[in-house]
């Protein structure tokens, strides 16, 4: 089956579904200039050991290493804009067909594209929490000074601020994970976009849906563990393919 036939089949599945949930990973944001973690030559873990810069233990022991690593990523996140794949999911939600986006990303691009219901499994870069007084502050209030002065961000009480992202060794936000699990059990179609499904527990979510009888569509450059069970699998650029699928959906429901 060629790509166009797969696109048409995916659109038909979407139109005939009652409760669609999307799971997105780093691959949906790479067309926006946000690097993923494992791509050869460009992945964030290519030149550093993640346990030394992005684990909860290393952050408390040597936070300067984390912020030196995070500074160039923060610059890219500030510049990043939603791409056609983000906008396609927002459009599908606007149609009333997509009920939730479960994302592994921390870049806020789904919200910028207009998605209303976004479950952020790994937190976000919108807020930071003081490790001393637990005060939560907007990151935008400190980001310019942090980027310009190469200093670590501190709270007004003197405590170190940590971005509200999930580091290696930390638990995912419990209420977000429970809500994501509930959406997986409720949906009748799971749309996996830009995720290699290698990181648990996020990788388990489509399989939870499948055990409840949900169909599955995978749009990702690389193969995933779900491919053999999915109804449609397209290994191409999500920013090109997903808008074509949603465009076909619009023609079918219009």
* Structural domain count, the chain: 2
Q: What is the CATH number of the domain that holds 252?
A: 3.40.50.1220
Report angle CA 205, 43, 118 to the nearest 5 degrees.
35
Are both 104 and 226 inside the same structural domain? yes
What's the pLDDT score for residue 48?
59
Tell me whether strands 136-138 and 123-130 are parallel, antiparallel or unpaired: antiparallel
Domain check: are 91 and 27 in the same one?
A: yes
User: Domain containing 156 — which CATH number?
Assistant: 3.30.1600.10
Residues 16 and 57 in one domain: no
Dist. CA 254–CA 251, nearest whole Å: 5
Picking from 137, 165, 193, the residue at the C-terminal end of a domain is 165
Domain residues for the domain of 224 are 1-34+82-122+170-254
Boundary of a domain, candidates 165, 180, 195? 165
pLDDT at 192: 98
> Is 181 found in the same domain as 100?
yes
Q: Are residues 131 and 228 in the same domain?
A: no
Q: What are the tokens at 110?
A: 């789904």
Residues tagged active-site = 122
CA distances from 119 to 36, 104, 127, 134, 236 (A): 19, 9, 15, 23, 25
pLDDT number for residue 42: 44
24/63 same-domain check: no
- Per the listing, tokens 């219009």 go with 254
Query: For residue 43, what pLDDT is reported?
Result: 45
**Torsions phi, psi for 100 (to 5 deg):** -165, 150
**232 vs 5: CA distance, rounded Å:** 10
- Both 195 and 212 in one domain: the answer is yes
* Series of mean pLDDT values for 10-residue runs along the chain (254 residues): 92 97 96 73 54 82 87 84 98 97 95 97 91 90 71 89 90 94 97 93 94 96 95 97 96 86
Please state the separation of Cα 14 from the chain's center in Å. Answer: 21
pLDDT of residue 1: 67
- What's the Rg (C-alpha) of the chain? 19
Q: What CA–CA distance (Å, rounded) separates 223 from 201? A: 18
Pair (39, 3) in one structural domain: no
Task: Kindly state whether residues 175 and 72 are assigned to the same domain.
Answer: no
User: Taking the complete model, does pTM exceed 0.85, yes or no?
Assistant: yes
Give yes or no for a contact between 205 and 181, defined as CB atoms under 8 angstroms apart: yes
């Amino acid at each position: 089956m060629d790509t166009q036939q797969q696109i048409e089949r995916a659109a038909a599945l979407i139109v005939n579904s009652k409760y669609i949930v999307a799971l997105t990973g780093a691959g949906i944001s790479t067309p926006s200039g946000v690097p993923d973690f494992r791509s050869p030559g460009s992945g964030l873990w290519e030149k550093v050991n993640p346990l030394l810069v992005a684990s909860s233990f290393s952050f408390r022991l040597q936070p300067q290493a984390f912020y030196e690593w995070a500074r160039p990523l923060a610059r890219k996140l500030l510049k990043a804009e939603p791409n056609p794949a983000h906008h396609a999911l927002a459009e599908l939600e606007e149609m009333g067909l997509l009920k939730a986006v479960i994302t592994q990303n921390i870049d806020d691009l789904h919200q910028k594209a207009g998605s209303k219901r976004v479950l952020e499994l790994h937190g976000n870069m919108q807020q930071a929490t003081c490790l001393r007084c637990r005060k939560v502050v907007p990151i935008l209030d400190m980001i310019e000074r942090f980027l310009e002065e190469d200093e670590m961000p501190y709270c007004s009480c003197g405590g170190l601020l940590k971005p509200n992202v999930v580091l290696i060794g930390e638990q995912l936000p419990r209420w977000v994970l429970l809500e994501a699990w509930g959406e997986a059990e409720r949906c009748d179609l799971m749309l996996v976009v830009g995720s290699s499904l290698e990181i648990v527990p996020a990788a388990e979510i489509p399989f939870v849906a499948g055990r409840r009888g949900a169909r599955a569509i995978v749009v990702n450059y690389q193969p995933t563990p779900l491919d053999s069970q999915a109804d449609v699998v397209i290994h191409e650029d999500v920013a090109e393919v997903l808008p074509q699928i949603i465009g076909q959906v619009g023609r079918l429901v219009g």
